[in-house]
Amino acid sequence: MHECILYKSLKGKSVQCFACNHRCIIKENYSGICGVRKNIEGKLCLLVYGVIISENIDPIEKKPLFNFLPHTNTYSIGTIGCNFKCDFCQNYGISQVKEIIGKKISAQEIVKRALKSGCKSISYTYNEPTIFAEFVKEIAVLAKEKGLKNILVTNGYMTKECMDFLGDYIDAMNIDLKSLNEDFYRKLCKSKLSPVLETIKYAYKKGIHIEITTLLIPGENDSEKELKEIVKFISGISREIPWHISRFFPMYKMKNKDVTSIGSLRKAEEIGKKYLKYVYVGNVW
């Protein structure tokens, strides 16, 4: 456990977290929506500080990042928990876990392992890095000193305060833009769309390399109208922002859905290329 930085104290030992845009008001002995930021005696504590559940050496293209340090490996770590509750989560085995599990490791050791492995970067991935932002910051500062780049693979729901807290230590982000429909986010993710759009714009403004991923779910976000809205939003920021179209596989609470067809993916790719310079289709072999 470790006291968080991204919060403020309220009356009666309650606290308000502002790592993400849920801005949870948390009573004593309770956790926020993410499940890992807990109010202990009036202090917000990060239960997964120095605890990771997943650790791998991945091709950077797996994040996916295609236009940042291509053909290099990235040292990837993740914890448990998430601030979204997506019915279609492709990684629910760790993101929706209710108990704190994993192995203890220091920021120094993570950086040491990344360097030893020959990786050029560290990726905070597998689950939502916003919820363990304070641990990300400690690692990222050390990584930067050693010449390593830092990458967030994120749903984009962090606050502006969180973005500024991580500041100049984040070099690249892959941000999920799951839909351009507010109802989609409310119904299927238990969140809101507008903060994600603001994060994308703010990250670009800060000069962070960004790439966008959309998981294409049959019947939910794959209409021609919605796809055009997504790529028009991205191109409105910059035609140079890469867009990754990812194939959905039935998972978690949406096992009744079909796998995304190759035809749907190709149609999305065709639409994307009318507006964007870089369009990539993923999860297809």
* Residue spans per domain, the chain: 2-46, 51-282
Q: What mean pLDDT comes out for the span 104-121? A: 98
In 3-state terms, what secondary structure has residue 32? Answer: coil
- CATH architecture of the region 51-282: Alpha-Beta Barrel (3.20)
Per-residue pLDDT tens for 199-235? 999 999 999 999 999 999 999 999 999 999 999 999 9
Q: Give the count of beta carbons closer than 10 Å to the beta carbon of residue 134.
A: 20
pLDDT at 107: 98
The phi-psi region of residue 51 (left if phi > 0; otherwise alpha if psi is between -120 and 50; otherwise beta) is beta
What is the enclosing helix (H) or strand (E) of 133? Answer: helix 133-145
Higher pLDDT, 90 or 260: 260
Instruction: Name the pLDDT band for 283 (thresholds 50, 70, 90).
Output: confident
DSSP string spanning 97-108?
--S---EE--HH
Percent of the chain past pLDDT 70, that is, above it, reads 100
- In DSSP terms, which residues pair with 216 in a beta bridge? 247
| 90 has pLDDT over 90 | no
| 245 has pLDDT over 80 | yes
Q: What mean pLDDT comes out for the span 193-201? A: 98
- Cβ 198 vs Cβ 160: under 8 Å: yes
Rounded CA-CA distance 229/213 in Å is 14
- Mean pLDDT, the chain, whole residue set: 97
Query: Alpha carbon of 33 to those of 18, 95, 178, 280: distances in Å?
Result: 12, 12, 19, 33
DSSP string spanning 71-97?
T-EEEEEE-S--S---TT-TTHHHHT-
Rounded CA-CA distance 246/187 in Å is 20
